[in-house]
Structure 1
Amino acid sequence: MKPDSILHPELAGALATLGHTDIVLVTDDGFPIPSQAKRIDLGFWPSTIDVLEILRQTIFVEEVRDCHPQLYQALQELYTGSGAEFRAASHETLCRDIAYEAKIIIRSGSFNPWANVALVASTDPFAWFTDASGVQPLPAYVARRQRIRDNVVPVLN
């Protein structure tokens, strides 16, 4: 076992399959998860924010979508300096659209209403575009790297 790593074998394995633009949906206990979804049920514990804190240390995220205004402040603090952009998504959009697009849905044990957050996976903008690679990043990657360098606090778009 390795400290500060994900020990849940199904969750660790699912995260290892993520590619650029794959969606990870972290939900509260009552979210209606589609029957065909890759569901990782953490059930009893932890809270949505606990899961998001672990994921923040594990995967690169380029976009965060949520529909819970009070949770937004905690997400701002958690994702400051990550370069992620924030987008609002209604609960209906998360249930109707994003849940069916998500590669992984992680159900937390949270009873915090509408504490559902979609993370759009990304790549490390520093590792992929180095001087040695000779490849120039797209403007979106340049902007993300600058937000990370500047430790920018994400704002809701």
Structure 2
Amino acid sequence: MRPDRILHPELAGALATLGHTDIVLVTDAGFPIPPQAKRIDLGFWLGTIDVLSILRVLRQEIFVEEVRFASEVRDCHPQLYQTLQELYTGSGAEFRTASHETLCRDIAYEAKVIIHSGSFNPWANVALVASTDPFAWFTDVSGVPPLPAYIARRQRIHDNVVPILN
């Protein structure tokens, strides 16, 4: 066993395959998952395992540059929105909207991995766009100037910015 690591072998393996801009979609219990998707089912009973528990672990395991969710989260479920803000403060990630229809119709088909929870938390479907470590790329040793997006993410991390949905 590996201490302080994901024990689920399929999930750990799927996360290890992620590259820059790959999408991990964490869904509630009722989300319609496409038949061809790389589905990792963690939901086995009402509320277990919850989307937020999964997101807390993923926050420690992968770099994320963008967090997408329905605008209803901010507008109709402020507790979930606040928790997402707390989770991704200082991560450098930006919040973006994606309608429920877009999550189901487009992002679910684009996602490299879909993690299905047992959550009955309204609008708790969250797409994470994977990133690279913004401090490991474009180092002083390489002599290559960093891209503006890396500079901006580094600054958001340094400033411990709380992400907001515009």
- TM-score class, shorter-chain normalisation, is over 0.9
**Aligned-partner Cα distance in 1 for 2:4–2:30:** 28
The answer to whether 1:95 aligns with 2:104 is yes
CA RMSD of aligned residues (A): 0.8
Q: Give the 4+ runs in structure 1 shifted more than 2 A.
A: none
Report the Cα distance in structure 2 between the residues aligned to 1:72 and 1:99, rounded to whole angstroms: 21
- Separation in 2 of the partners of 1:79 and 1:20? 18
2 CA distance for matches of 1:98 and 1:80? 24
CA deviations over 1:23-71 (Å, ceiling 9, x no partner): 0000001100000000000012210010000000000000000122322
Q: Percent identity?
A: 82
Query: What is the identity, as a one-letter code, of the residue corresponding to 1:117?
Result: V
- Ranges in structure 2 where 5+ consecutive residues have no aligned partner: none
Q: What's the CA shift for 1:106?
A: 0.2
1:33/1:99 contact within 8 Å kept: yes
Q: Give the number of equivalent residue pairs.
A: 157
1:38 aligns with 2:41: no
C-alpha displacement at 1:3, in angstroms?
2.2
For residues 50 and 119 of structure 2, what CA distance do their matches in structure 1 show?
4
Q: Equivalences for 1:1-157 in 2 at 5 Å?
A: 1-44=1-44, 45-67=48-70, 68-69=73-74, 70=77, 71-157=80-166
**Partner secondary structure for residue 20 of structure 1:** coil
Distance across 1 between alignment mates of 2:142 and 2:7: 34
TM-score under structure 2 length normalisation = 0.92
Gaps of 5+ in 1: none
SS of the residue 2:68 aligns to: strand
One-letter amino acid of the counterpart of residue 25, structure 2: L
Post-superposition offset of 1:76 = 0.4
